Amino acid sequence: MLVTLPPSKQPIGMALFGITATFAPSIGPTLGGWLTNNYSWHYIFYLNLFPGLLLLAGVWYGIKQQAPKPELLKQGDWWGIMAMAIGLASLQVVLEEGSRKDWFSSSLIVTLGAIAAIFLSLFFWIELTRKQPFINLRLLRDRNFGLASIVNISLGVGLYGSIFLLPLYLVQIQKYNALQIGEVLMWAGLPQLFLIPFVPKLIQIVDSRLVIGVGVIVFSISCFMNSDLTNLSGIDQLRWSQLVRAMGQPLIMVPLSAVATAGLPKSQAGSASGLFNMMRNLGGSFGIAALATLLTQREKFHSNRLGDAISLYNPETQQRIDTLTQLFVSKGADFNTAQSQAFQAIANTVSRESYVMAFNDCFYFVGFALLFSGVAVLFFKKVRVSDTSGGAH
């Protein structure tokens, strides 16, 4: 888009690209849930077949073929590519498996963490010192690109963090199946199809910085709306927060890309695009890892607090145990079995409420992460929509 589209058409291109970054992750679970419910979870892996064929046809038709230049292989930044591949792959495993393996108590996580630190450091050194780097990290010194990357990392936390937390809550607390989860997430996806086409026109009328700031605030509000969940919160309660989220995401994605790339030369379009999208994906990976750990830690914290409040010497606790014991006896259990079932029922209630409060804490975390990143918007340089072309200056 940066290389081939004229400046006047680039906001439209950015808007269409924004659909892939915001709408697709939201609607994917809905399609996956429908396939799982009606066929099998195996069919989820065929979701890419039809879009993939469309993609191949679109690339073949819409992108001009260039003559191959095999001599450029000799100039390739192969050491930088190798260092990035090993470093990012190791980091990805650390982030995805760290919480499950109790982080650095696992020798695998320690080893991969060390590999990631060494090779990513090497990657940064190579890219910053090489004359023709694979990815031009010096772009981060550009004021708007660097600040927009900070917001983009936070956007990744919000995008992927929300998609991580909500299904987990709906499975653990509401016992929703895959299709029901998809029906909840759908409300954050479908409205964006109707909102995103208006964003290019909006940023021609309103300062892009203001649009991004409003988007960040609206997105964070949707997270705060999810921070007062109870064990009864289902699709009827979550629908409104999802709709608010659907209004906020397009207001960030499209103008943020435009502001980040404004004034960059066409020769840097590839590096800018790769680096900018990598920032959002890394934000998602870091965010999910942090949220998984936070969820576990806060569940333990709330479980201990609730457990301290429940005592056999507490008259209310004794009354509740007696009531549950009588209930299970009336269903045919003997007294000892019924009393054990009563204790287990109370333990299950404590566990459920601990998780609900932990989920609320996690949504607070995402909401505040978005708000804090919004401070960077205050320091953006003002750009015109017509400036959003590589080589506009």
At a CB cut-off of 8 Å and minimum separation 6, what does 275 contact? Answer: 135, 136, 137, 139, 140, 149
Question: For residue 390, what pLDDT band results from cuts at 50, 70 and 90?
Answer: very low
Least confidently predicted of 209-223, 245-259, 325-339? 325-339
CA-to-CA dists, residue 64 to 61, 72, 265, angstroms: 8, 19, 20
DSSP result, 192-233:
HHHHGGGHHHHHHHS-HHHHHHHHHHHHHHHHHHGGG--TT-
In the predicted model, is pLDDT for residue 393 greater than 60?
no
* Chain segment 191-208, per-residue pLDDT in tens: 887 888 888 888 888 898
Sign of CA dihedral 58, 64, 68, 69: negative
How much of the chain is helix, strand and coil, in % rounded to 5?
Answer: 80, 0, 20
* Chain segment 249-298, per-residue pLDDT in tens: 889 988 898 888 887 887 787 788 888 888 888 888 889 988 988 999 89
At a CB cut-off of 8 Å and minimum separation 6, what does 97 contact? Answer: 106, 108, 109
Contacts 24+ apart (CB under 8 A), 109-117: 115/86, 115/87, 115/90, 116/87, 116/88, 116/90, 116/91
Question: For residue 388, what pLDDT band results from cuts at 50, 70 and 90?
Answer: very low
